[in-house]
Amino acid sequence: MILKTFGWSLAVTALGLAFAAWQWGWEAFGIVLILCVLEISLSFDNAVVNAGILKKMNAFWQRIFLTLGILVAVFGMRLVFPVVIVAISAEVGPVEAVRLALDEPGRYEDLVTDAHPAIAAFGGMFLLMIFLDFVFEDRDIKWLAWLERPLARLGKVDMLSVCVALAALLITATTFAAQAHVSTGHADRSATVLLSGIAGLITYLVVGGLSGYFEDRLEDEEEHEHAEEEKARAEGRPVSVAALAGKAAFFLFLYLEVLDASFSFDGVIGAFAITNHIFWMALGLGIGAMYVRSLTVYLVRQGTLDDYVYLEHGAHYAIGALAGILLVTVQHQIDEIVTGLIGVVLIAASFLSSVRRNRALAAADPEGPQGAGDDPRDTASDSKAEVTSGA
């Protein structure tokens, strides 16, 4: 199972590192390897969240996610995106931007630094909305119940997540953006941050709304299909909703791509702290992206999210932390190691809590399935399990 899922990632790693060493030497080999590890550490929470969405798709769309999706992720975000932001900010053509990256790496890095406030605002708002919509939703299973229960009650207020996100954007624009970090020192980027943040919010609402709409339509149609199949067996006529299912999966796929792009912002920007070479950057981050995609599929096929029910919670808290970090980096530089460690710690904590929960369930019902059923913290008879699993 592991070799089948991660086989392409391992092959690409071997070829990529060998090519880097052959084409540019051992320095490039080391930098590409570091960038690969950086991308995996920063995007592990991305894999967990993606798995929660991907498990709703069939095997065909999972393959599309690993093939066409990886082309978008690697070439779109890891190679084309840095060139595009430089081209826009410097008001030059893409070819000239590539020339700057190859011949004037210092100037290229300055241009990317100048574009960072806009990138951070867009990505930060998109990720913040994902986090807020998660914590404001009332869920049967709660990880940090002392926090999630009151937030779920607040979530009954219409459009609360949008209001909170806009308030965060306003604070960022009037504080951090007023002294945004650029290559020449500090400058007022309030208008840029406001516009980019609103664009990120609109992108989330449009893409997430469309995917949610078609997902709901698909669920309704599946219920209708189940009833029709019972009737069709007697009449001998087939029932198919393939067109609707394809449309729903397509918009979920788009949502996954935008989500992956938003997670890529910190990795791409953080990579400039290691190298200005766009081909080294694309190679290292691209290899890391392959592992993130493979890990997403592995989590889905192994049913890991069903067994370790708090992983999704930990991933969304990591998203919230990353969103806050992106907004703070409009003015202040934060080491990418800190960013990666926050996500790793939250994911690890949620995993350990899931393990303790499964042990508590097994102790309460030795013959019952582990990792399934109701959360022990939600039953009065399992108060001890609540303390154990909610740490």
Token pair for 262: 């938003």
* CA 128/CA 120 separation, integer angstroms: 11
- The pLDDT value recorded for residue 222 is 63
| Within a domain: 86 | yes
| Within a domain: 133 | yes
* CA 344/CA 45 separation, integer angstroms: 8
- The pLDDT value recorded for residue 360 is 86
- The pLDDT value recorded for residue 248 is 67
What tens digit of pLDDT does each residue of 187-217 get?
Answer: 778 888 999 899 889 988 887 777 667 667 6
Which residues are bridge partners to 182 per DSSP? 185
- The pLDDT value recorded for residue 72 is 76
Number of domains in the chain: 1
| Within a domain: 292 | yes
Q: What is the pTM of this model?
A: 0.70
Question: Cβ distance 5 to 51 under 8 Å?
Answer: no
| Within a domain: 98 | yes
Per-residue pLDDT at 380 exceeds 80? no
What number is the average pLDDT over the span 304-309? 72
Question: Cβ distance 61 to 249 under 8 Å?
Answer: yes
Q: Which residues contact 95 (CB under 8 A, 6 or more apart)?
A: none
Q: What's the start-to-end Cα distance of the chain, in Å?
A: 32
**Who wins on pLDDT, 232 or 382?**
232
| Within a domain: 194 | yes
How many CA atoms does the CB half-sphere of 39 hold within 13 Å?
31
How many CA atoms does the CB half-sphere of 56 hold within 13 Å?
22
Cα 109 → chain centroid: 25
| Within a domain: 360 | no
CA–CA distances in Å: residue 247 to residues 7, 254, 291: 30, 11, 27
What number is the average pLDDT over the span 375-391? 39
What tens digit of pLDDT does each residue of 159-170 get?
Answer: 899 999 999 999
| Within a domain: 68 | yes
Least trusted range by pLDDT, from 94-98, 124-128, 375-379: 375-379
| Within a domain: 314 | no
Mean pLDDT over each residue of the chain, to the nearest integer: 75
Task: Quote the domain boundaries for residue 23.
Answer: 2-304
What tens digit of pLDDT does each residue of 38-67 get?
Answer: 677 666 666 777 777 777 777 777 777 777
Nearest residue to 309 (alpha-carbon basis) of 364, 372, 388, 368? 372
What number is the average pLDDT over the span 341-349? 81
b (16+ CB within 10 A) / e for 70-82: bebbbebbbbbbb
How would residue 274 be classed by pLDDT, with cut points 50, 70 and 90?
low
The percentage of residues in the chain with a pLDDT greater than 70, rounded to a whole number, is 73
Among 47-51, 71-75, 146-150, name the most confident range. Answer: 146-150
